[in-house]
Structure 1
Amino acid sequence: MSQTTIHAATTPPASRRPSAARLGLSRAVIEVILFFRERDAVIFAFSLPIILLAIFGAIFGDAVEGSGVSVAQLYVAGLIGTAAMTGFQNLGIGIAIDRDDGTLKRLAGTPLPRSSYFVGKALQTLFLSLCQVALLLAVGMLAFGLDLPTRVSAWVTFCWVFVLGVLASALLGVAASSLPRSGRSATAVISMPFVVLQFVSGVFIPVSQLPSWLVNIASVFPLKWMCQGFRSVFIGDAGATLEIAGSYELDRVALILGAWVVGGLVLCLLTFRWKSRRDG
C-alpha cells in the first residue's frame, strides 16, 4: 500500500472536522473557565458595579427634580451600559497580554482557525456582560425600586442595544489591544479612556448636567448611546424629558452603534497584530 493510500485512510474527511463556530464555542468555554479560576478578578469584576451602584444610589437616591425618576434608577441604566461595554476593557487588556506572553503566536501555529479565537473571546465577553447585567437588575429591583419593563417592545429594544453595544465594544477592544507596548502596560493604557468615557457618557453624571462640549465628545463614542438606549428601556417615558434632545432618539442610537460595529471591524483589520513589537 502506498504512502498516499495510507495517508488518505488515516486522515479524517473534512466533513468530520469541527467547524470554526464549534471550535469558537469550545474556546469560549475555556476562556470562561480560565476567568473564573482567577478569583480576585471575578470578585472585582462583579462587585465593583454593585458597590458603585450602592454608593451613588445611597448618596443621590432622591428623585430628579421635575420628574418621577430617581437618580438611583439613572445609575442602574448607566451601569448596565458599562457592563455591556466591558468587552472593550476585557479584550483590550486580555489580548494585549496574550500577545505579549506569546499565546497568540502559539495559537497562530495550531490548527485552530484564527476566527475561533475571536469567537471564543466574544462569547466570553457576552456571557460576563449578561451576568453583570443580571446582578445589576437584581440589586436595582431589591434596593432601589427599579421596575422591569412589561412591554415586549422594551425588551426588544434592550436586546438590540445590548447586542450592538457588546459587538461594537468587543471590536473596539480587539483594535485597542494593539495600543499597549507590552502586556504590563495594557491595564493602564486601556482602562484610562474607559473610565473617562463613563464620566462623560452619562454613567455617573446625568448628561443634562454635563457641559455641551463634553456631551459632544461623548456623542462620538458608543457608550453614551448605549446608556441612552438602556434608559429608554428601564426608565421609560418619565425619563425622556431628562435627555438633551427631549427624547431617547432610538433611531440615532441604532445608527451610531451600527456604525461603530462596522468601524470597529475596519479598525481590527487595519491594526490587529498577532506578534508583539519585539517579535517584529
Structure 2
Amino acid sequence: MIHKSGFVNIIGSPNAGKSTLMNSLIGEKISIITWKPQTTRHRILGIINEPDFQIIFSDTPGIIYPVYPMQKIMMQYVEKSLSDADIILLITEFGKLENFSIFNKIKKMNIPIIILINKIDKIGIEYKDNISFHNSMKYWIKLFPNSEILPISALKKTNQDLLMKKIISLLSEHPPYYPKEFLSNRPKRFFVNEIIREKIFFLYEKEIPYSVEIDTILFKKEKTFIYIFSYIYVERNSQKGILVGKGGSSLKKLKFFSIKSIESFLKKKVKLKIYVKVCKNWRYDYKKLKFFGY
C-alpha cells in the first residue's frame, strides 16, 4: 500500500482563522481560539493519521510587523514554517487585501500554495459584500497567479472536504514522520498552559491576556485524577491584582473554567492549583522568553 505524508503549514494575518481551520481539520481542539488578534504565540503541530496517509498541519502566529522581542520570535516561527513546508495554506478573509513582505518569499517557493479566502459565511445578500468577495478573488489571483484559490468557512466547514482532497492529492509518497498514535508534537503540559491562557483571553480585558504567560510546574497522574500546579506570570503588580480579583474572586472563576476545559481535553478529573507571580517585562527579555520556551 502506498503511504503519503507531508507538512501542511498554515500562515496568515492575526484573526484570519488559522487556528479555527486547523482544529476543524484535525477534529480536535489543538490551538486556542478567541476573537482577539495575536492569540497564537507558538508553532503548534496537529496530526491527521489514516492508514494510507499522515498530514502534519502547522498552526503559526499571525503575521505582524514585530515591535518587541516576543513578537520577533513569533515571526521567526512563521519564517521557519516556510523552510519545512510541503504545502502552504495561506489564509485570509474576504475583503482584506493584504501584502506582507513574507509573501515575496512564498512566491519563490517551489511547492504548492493554496490561498484560502475565509469567513465566506459572513457574506450577506448585500451588493457590497459580493463586490468585496469578487475583489478579493481578483486581488489574490493577481498576487499569486500560479496558486489555487479556494473560498472557505473554517467555522462552518464550508469546502473543507474539497480542501482535504486537494491536500491529499498533493502529498508525496513517504512513510509517517510521527508515530501513528500522535495527535501533536506538544506535551500535555503545553496544552494545559494554552487552555488556561485561552480562559484569560475570555475573562479579562485590555492588556492582561497579552501580558501573561503560563508555566505548569507539576503534572502528576493519580489513580482517579490528575494534579496540576501552574504559575501565571504577569509583568506588573497591578496586573496581578486584576487577575486575582477582590478576595480571589476572579482567580476562582478562571480556575473553574480552566478545570472544565482541561478535564474535557484530558478525559480525566483534574485538581488544579494556580498561583500568580510577577515577572517584570518578560516579553522584552530574551533570557526570560527562553525560560518560557520561546
What TM-score comes out, normalization by structure 2 length?
0.25
Q: Which has the higher strand share?
A: 2
What TM-score comes out, normalization by structure 1 length?
0.26
Structure with bigger gyration radius: 1
Q: Which has the higher helix share?
A: 1
Taking CA–CA contacts closer than 8 Å with sequence separation of 6 or more, which of the two structures ends up with the larger relative contact order?
A: 1
